[in-house]
Each structure stands twice: as C-alpha cells, then as structure tokens.
Chain A
Amino acid sequence: MKEKIKITNLTQRYGKKIALKDVSLEIETGLYGLLGRNGAGKTTLMRTMAGLLPVNAGEIDICGVPVSNIPEVRKLIGYLPQEFSLYPNMKVEEVLDYIGVLSDLSRPVRQDRIDELLEKVNLQQHRRKKVKSLSGGMKRRLGMAQALLHNPQVLIADEPTVGLDPEERVRLRNLLADEAKDKIVILSTHIVEDIDAVCENTAILDDGHLVYNGTIAALIQMTNTTGIEDAYLKAVHSREVF
C-alpha cells in the first residue's frame, strides 16, 4: 500500500462560496503542517480527507484508496476534530473502549491499545476518572488517544493546540511528532509556532488557495525572510503561489 496522500485539483464549495480552489498536494509519511488563518479552508480540507464531506471536484487518494471508498478510508484515518468532546459521564477507559468497539477492535486488542495509548498520552493515572472531570489539555490528549486507537496509517489533527497552555501545547506537539515516525500525520493550525517546532513540510492555505507547499527551509529561502513567521506573512500577503 502506498504511504502517501495525493490530492489532485480539489475544489470544494459551500453553495456559491468556494472553500478550496484547485488544491493539489502530496503528503508522505512524517509530520505535515497545514497552516492558514481562520477561514483559509483547512477544516474543509481535513473533513474532506476524513470522508465527512463529499468531493465536489478533483480527487483525493489516501494510501492508494480513493476517498470515495468510505469504508476503507475510515479504517485508514484517525481523526481528531477541531471541536469535539466525549461522553462526559463515561470514564476515560470506558470511552476509549467504546470507540474501540466502534472501530471493530477485538477485546484483547482494545485492552492492549488502551493501556499503550493511555501511557503514551500520560493519562494512565486518570483512566478511571470521568471525562467531565478532565482539564482541557487532558481532554485533547484523550482525543489523540481515541484517534490513534485503531492504529491508523493517517492521523488528521485539526487545530489540536488551540486553547492549550504552553506546556500542554508542547506535550501535544511532541506526541504528534512521535506518531509521525511511521505515519502520515497532518497538523492543521493557524499558530505558526506549532509548525515551526515540529513540521518539516508544510502547506499554506489562504482563502481556499494553496499558496505554498514544501519544506519550511525552502519557504524561508524563497520569501527572503529570516523566520517562518515572516515567511508565512509574506507568502499570504503577496498572494503569490510559491
């Protein structure tokens, strides 16, 4: 199976509003940043890749599977939505077990994966706590755990660091970087610092257009700037496709 996401000439609309315009991208194993301000089209792209939105025009191929093959895509993708919660009255391990059942994992596999992931996201001590008693950062880490539960080849994390304190942001970024060793991990964010810290490759979206796709070093070089923040601003404001 190809470990690559290939997006070809993707255009997405909400009525007359064009959310994504003719976007083409190739994303390989590793941590891939998707940068853009609010309203740039990041969530639309993420939801389309996750099979939650139909493709209006163009093609998406996820590890050799067309995104229209929804049942197969669901097996391949782990999705951490931008806005989510989990059943508040369930315990941490219960909610993961439930999601494991929805992912068709057998009981022994579920138990092993839950132990492993709770350890990884540092929630082992909180496994018997109810979800509603967790802090925002803990919930986000639990969200990560649920997305990784079925060991997907692709992890899509939509703005996972929003609203977290600096310590939790670092922790979550490191988790994503760790997973990116053998997975395609897509980190969507409007926070430049997140991309700078962990992503080697990035795409910049602005108003539905892809304005950059490549390494961060190349972006800085092409824009004649000294850091990613300036490079990003220059790329967006010039509206030039690099």
Chain B
Amino acid sequence: MLLKEGKKVLMSIPFLIFVIVMVIDYQTQYSSALCQKIEEPQPGQEEYPIYGFTDSGDTEMIMQGAIETLIGEYSANAYSSYPFGFYKEVRLNDNEKAEMGDILAALTGYTAEEIVNTAFKIPYMTQDEETGALVSVIPDTGEEIPVVSEHVSYQEFQQLMGQASDLVGGGSSYSVDNLAAMGSRPLNYEEADEVYQQLRASGYSGGYARLLCDYLCIFSGLLPVFIAIAIWLRDRSAKMRDIVWTRKISSIRLTFARYGMIVLLCSAVVLIIAGIAALGLMKLYPGEVSGVFEFFRLTAIWVIPSIMASAAIGAFFTELTDTPAGILFMLGYWYFSIGTTSLTMGGLKWLTFMPRHNTEFMVEEFAANYSKFLVNRVLFVVASIALVFITAFILERKRRGRWFSLDKISIRRKKKSEI
C-alpha cells in the first residue's frame, strides 16, 4: 500500500517541483555559507560583525542606527526590505523620494539637499570622548554631526519611521517590529571569541545545521500542500472514486498511507539535503567537524513538522471541499507567517509556523528558546495528525454517502435523467 502510494507521490509533478525548489533553495541561500571558513576572531578590532550582533535596547542607539541607515539608503535610493524573509531592494519614485526626504528632514533637521551632499561621505558612528554622546563622523573631514535628532522624541521617531516603512513596503527594516534591531551593535572581541569558541566546541555542526533548517523550513512549509492536493484530487479527476470507495480498505488506512508517503518522501528530500550540507561542512573544516548527526536531528524536529502541517492542510481542505481551496489557505497562512516571523529564535511564538534562526551563531538565544521551540513543533505535529484523522473521518462519511460532496451535487443534477 505504502509503496503504491509512494509511487504516485514520486510521479507527481508537484513533488518534482518540491525537489527542484528545495535544491535551488539550498544552492542559492545556503551553499554560500559552506564556501568560506569562519575564522577565529583576532584581537585588535573594535567590532566583529560577522560573529553576530546584540541588541543594545538603547533608544538613542536605535534612533542613531535607524537614521544613519535611512540616510545611506535615501542617498542611494536603494532600500533593503525582506518581504518574504528574502532580501529585496526597493527603489522609490520621485514623489515617494520627496516624502522620504521630508521624513528625514523631520528626523534630522537637515534638508534633503544637505543630507544628500553630506551623506555620500558615509558617516560612521562613534562616541564623543568628552561627553560620551553618540556622534556620526564624516570620514574625510572628521566633522562630527550629532545624528541623534534633538528635534523629535522617541515616540515621534517611531511614528516617522512607521511612515518610512510604509513607503518602503512589506518587510521594511523601519517597521516598528524591526526597529529594535537598529539598536543592535556588532559583537566586541570578547563576545565574538565566545560565540566562535562555542561554534568550534560544538564541532561546527549545530550552528550550520540551524542555518540550514532556517532556509529549508521556508519552502517545506508551503510546497507539500500542493502535493497533497494533487494526490487527493486524483481519484476524483480520474473518476476512480466509486471504485476506490467500495474497496475493503479502511478510510483511516487509506488516508494515512497517502499522507504518510507525502511526508516521508518530502522528509527524505530535506534529510538528503541535510546530509549534503553535513558533507559540505566536513569538507570545509577537514578533521574539525563533529556531531554531524545534528543536521539530521534538527531537520527532523524543525523542518518535518512544517512538512506535516502543510500536507495535512492540503489533505484536509481537499477532502472537505473537493477543491484545491487548501492552496489559498496555505498561501495566506504562509505569507502571514513569513512576514511576521522574527529572523532569529528570540522572536519565536507558540504558533510560529516556520521558526527561523538565520545565523550560525546566537546559540544562547537559540538555547534560551529551545523548550518553546520544541513545544511549538510538537503542537504542529499533534495538530497535523489530528487534522489527518478528521480527513479520514470525512472520507468515511463520504464513502457512506453521508457527507456533502460535489459528486453528490452532480448526482442530484443528473437525477432527472439517470436516477
């Protein structure tokens, strides 16, 4: 039974698309992490951004960081945004640019012209030795400009950044939820060394596995719905329903066999990718890698629950409605999830559909949220299995003619001639 259903899944076009998308996702998003070693931080620098950032929580620093970023992006008319969790560069038209200039003027007290003329010399942030205040330094002149505006309060600043966010669009760095990250600062040497040593002590596997799962989870949470819908609609489109429905097999066995094979084969794809990533890591750090099982363990507990949920949603809605309505639900849910999920585990909610942790580092943040993460994943597994049981129940009712179905309507339409 499982082999037969598995063959149907393997031969389906949505499954082929799933495989292709997952491979492309791995190649374009993750494989670059395996191109270059993360070297041990050496003392002597002020900042170690490649080892991560930490939120300062300092409103002055948030304002400073946000205004500096906005000045740079305004000058280049190129704004970073992450509408689906992926990078997108946004360019504003003349009207929007003028509006953004007004926002900047309100924030800084400088006119748009002044901003453009000074900002091309990209300022950097430092602390005034005497006062301790944050100042922005123009590299060529050494002129210090107090970027933190004295013109606006933090509340007014948030309002203005909200307007800037609306201009840039979905996933903007200036949205209220993302502003805190503007106050983040790169790690210093001690902090960078600590996270590097943690990564090294774990044999590199944990950090790289977390980053892999972050990428894999995005499309694994969406595409299985298409496979489930294709499999679930096949009996109807092939006019096989009455033949299948009058067979001895129980609805629970039939439903779980189909669902199980979708989950199993999609899981096999992501686990194979996890294996490839583990091999890539061993090649990058010859003789230094340990605990590669972490790739498989994390993929199993992180990515597979999303696959299960997506496939269950597809099966349930298709059985319920006899239509591909599950696609609409899943797309909406996926879009909402991707737009509202924090890029690291710190923002994990109980019902986050696709947990993210877009870095090899920040292991403490991951560990601090690990219990919540596990509960989240178990919730999705339990909900998925419950949904499949309900799907089987609906199927059994339909097999007994005790459920609304499009086939029933068509019988009623035909009743005058063919009853």
Q: Contacts A14-B412, A85-B238, A85-B239 given: A52-B419 contact, CB under 8 Å?
A: no
Interface segment among B72-80, B95-103, B246-254, B365-373: the answer is B246-254
**Quick check: is B4 within 8 A (CB to CB) of the other chain?**
yes
Q: Is the CB of A84 within 8 A of B242?
A: yes
**Residues on A with beta carbons closer than 8 Å to the beta carbon of B248:** 71, 74-75, 102-104, 150
How many angstroms from the CA of A150 to the CA of B417 in the assembled complex? Answer: 32
B212-235 interface bits toward A, Cβ cutoff 8 Å, 1 = contact, 0 = none: 000000000000000000000010
**Residues on A with beta carbons closer than 8 Å to the beta carbon of B254:** 102
**Quick check: is A237 within 8 A (CB to CB) of the other chain?**
no
Q: Contacts A19-B415, A43-B419 given: A70-B400 contact, CB under 8 Å?
A: yes
B375-412 interface bits toward A, Cβ cutoff 8 Å, 1 = contact, 0 = none: 00000000000000000000000011110000000011
Q: Is the CB of B239 within 8 A of A51?
A: no
How many angstroms from the CA of A40 to the CA of B401 in the assembled complex? Answer: 20
How many angstroms from the CA of A53 to the CA of B239 in the assembled complex? Answer: 17
**Residues on A with beta carbons closer than 8 Å to the beta carbon of B246:** 50-52, 74, 77, 79
Interface size for chain A: under 10, 10 to 19, 20 to 34, or 35 or more residues? 35 or more
Shortest beta-carbon distance from B38 to chain A in Å: 49
Question: Which residues between 23 and 55 of chain A lie within 8 Å of chain B, taking CB atoms?
Answer: 38-44, 47, 50-54
Q: Is the CB of A39 within 8 A of B416?
A: yes
**Quick check: is A242 within 8 A (CB to CB) of the other chain?**
no
Q: Is the CB of B243 within 8 A of A84?
A: yes
Q: Is the CB of A84 within 8 A of B239?
A: yes
Count residues on chain B whose CB falls below 8 Å from chain A CBs: 28
Q: Is the CB of B402 within 8 A of A54?
A: yes
Q: Is the CB of A103 within 8 A of B247?
A: yes
Q: Is the CB of A74 within 8 A of B247?
A: yes
**Quick check: is B328 within 8 A (CB to CB) of the other chain?**
no
**Quick check: is B244 within 8 A (CB to CB) of the other chain?**
yes
Q: Is the CB of A102 within 8 A of B244?
A: yes
Q: Is the CB of A52 within 8 A of B1?
A: no
Report which residue of B238, B412, B419 has the largest number of chain A beta carbons within 10 angstroms of its beta carbon. Answer: B419
**Residues on B with beta carbons closer than 8 Å to the beta carbon of A14:** 411-412, 415, 419
The chain A residue with its CB closest to the CB of B242 is A81
Q: Is the CB of B401 within 8 A of A53?
A: yes
**Residues on B with beta carbons closer than 8 Å to the beta carbon of A54:** 400-402
**Residues on B with beta carbons closer than 8 Å to the beta carbon of A79:** 242-243, 246
The chain A residue with its CB closest to the CB of B234 is A87
Q: Is the CB of B247 within 8 A of A102?
A: yes
**Residues on B with beta carbons closer than 8 Å to the beta carbon of A65:** none
Q: Is the CB of B419 within 8 A of A19?
A: yes
**Quick check: is A198 within 8 A (CB to CB) of the other chain?**
no
**Residues on A with beta carbons closer than 8 Å to the beta carbon of B402:** 54
**Quick check: is B140 within 8 A (CB to CB) of the other chain?**
no
**Quick check: is B110 within 8 A (CB to CB) of the other chain?**
no
Q: Is the CB of A101 within 8 A of B243?
A: no
Q: Is the CB of A101 within 8 A of B4?
A: yes
Shortest beta-carbon distance from A10 to chain B in Å: 14
**Quick check: is A86 within 8 A (CB to CB) of the other chain?**
yes
Could you list 12 examples of A-B contacts with CB < 8 Å? A17-B415, A52-B246, A52-B400, A52-B401, A75-B248, A79-B243, A79-B246, A86-B238, A87-B240, A88-B238, A104-B249, A150-B248
B residues in contact (CB < 8 Å) with A: 1, 4, 11, 234, 238-240, 242-250, 254, 399-402, 411-412, 415-419
